[in-house]
Chain A
Amino acid sequence: MNQIQTSSNKLFALLFAAWIVSMVAMLGSLFFSEIMLFPPCVMCWYQRICMYPLSVILLVALLSNDQNVFKYAMPLVVLGLFFAIYHNLLYFGIVPETLAPCSQGVSCTSDYINWFGFITIQFLSLVAFALIFILLLLIKPKAS
């Protein structure tokens, strides 16, 4: 009984942390685009499409303490993580931008923010997706 209680508390803590990360990422990106008026590039939109629903899905899971969240949140996280990694590779010039789907409109490699020389918006996105990815792995139900 006590053990069930402990694991339920641990699940709550992990889910709570994942939800906070997704909320901060969502509100942060909205702050950049709506308040500071940075136009989001195509890659940024793909990552938003994956991140915004997570803030709702994780909240619902949090309210019902649902360990199955792994199944339905992970696909979004993996997709978002893929776009975030690709975006960072673009930014560092490892993938040439001409091959990218963002040659029109706003460039995916322009610097809107650059704190301490390495914290860019796409870096923040990568960190957020990676954190949620790790937290969800810890939540994953043990196969028995």
Chain B
Amino acid sequence: MKKQTLIIASLFVLVLLFVGGSYLYKKADHSVANENASALVRPYAYVLGNPDAKTTIVEFFDPACGTCKSFYPFVKNILKQNPDKLKLVLRYAPFHTDSYYVVAMIEAARLQNKYIEALEVIYKYQDKWASHSAPNIGLIWGFLPEAGIDVEKLRDDMKKPEIDAIIKQDIADTKTLGVNATPEFFVNGKPLVKFGKQELEDLITSEL
């Protein structure tokens, strides 16, 4: 009899720990710690929307990532609906092979004031240059003129050490913040805990 009491008590304690732990974990503040706040937004990072907006969405993306591509118009649309209150800070998480060079292209396009144009054309043809069977970033050169980009200038600009430094810093920041999948969103420093479009929209709405 005493043994059965011990078993039932243990079962009870274990379940209680699980339920209590879940409650505490969900209630806990998962915001980025203050000492890591600088890793979230760097002054050089490209900002879409109102730069003085109160609510900041930080997105870590990889130009070769299909989910990033599908989130881009979705997030852009949310920005459009709240033009004054929202800004989107774009950061790089070039996890795919060769994504580093694609990111360098986007940064070099920025020097021609064609950041968004370059990003959109790269996303538009993503299934061509980032196809699973035969990825070939060389194809991007053929798509960039469509965005009105001077490809010759871009090739030179890509080699600039400033661009290399920006990408290296972004990669270092993904490690600091524990970003290990793309896209990763933070709204006012709060990470998107459960991934999904609806969840992101809810998180943004709650921070507006």
A residues whose Cβ falls under 8 Å from a Cβ of B: 12, 16, 19-20, 23-24, 27, 30-31, 34-37, 59, 62-63, 110-111
Write out the residue numbers on chain A whose beta carbons fall within 8 Å of the beta carbon of B11. 23
Chain B contacts for A111, CB-based, 8 A = 180
Residue pairs across A and B with CB atoms within 8 Å: the count is 35
- Segment at the A interface, from B1-9, B141-149, B157-165: B1-9
Shortest Cβ gap from B122 to chain A (Å):
25
Instruction: A31 to B11: give the CA distance in the assembly, Å.
Output: 16
User: Given A12-B3, A16-B7, A62-B7, are A31 and B14 also a contact pair (CB < 8 Å)?
Assistant: no
A30 cross-chain contacts in B, Cβ below 8 A = 18
Partner of B7, one of A24, A34, A59: A59
Q: In the assembly, what is the distance between CA of A27 and CA of B16, in Å?
A: 11
What DSSP secondary structure best describes chain A's contact surface?
helix
The 27 listed contacts between A and B (C-beta, < 8 Å) are: A16-B6, A16-B10, A19-B7, A20-B10, A20-B14, A23-B11, A23-B14, A24-B14, A27-B14, A27-B15, A27-B17, A27-B18, A30-B18, A31-B18, A31-B21, A31-B22, A31-B25, A34-B22, A35-B21, A35-B26, A36-B25, A37-B195, A59-B7, A62-B7, A63-B4, A63-B7, A111-B180
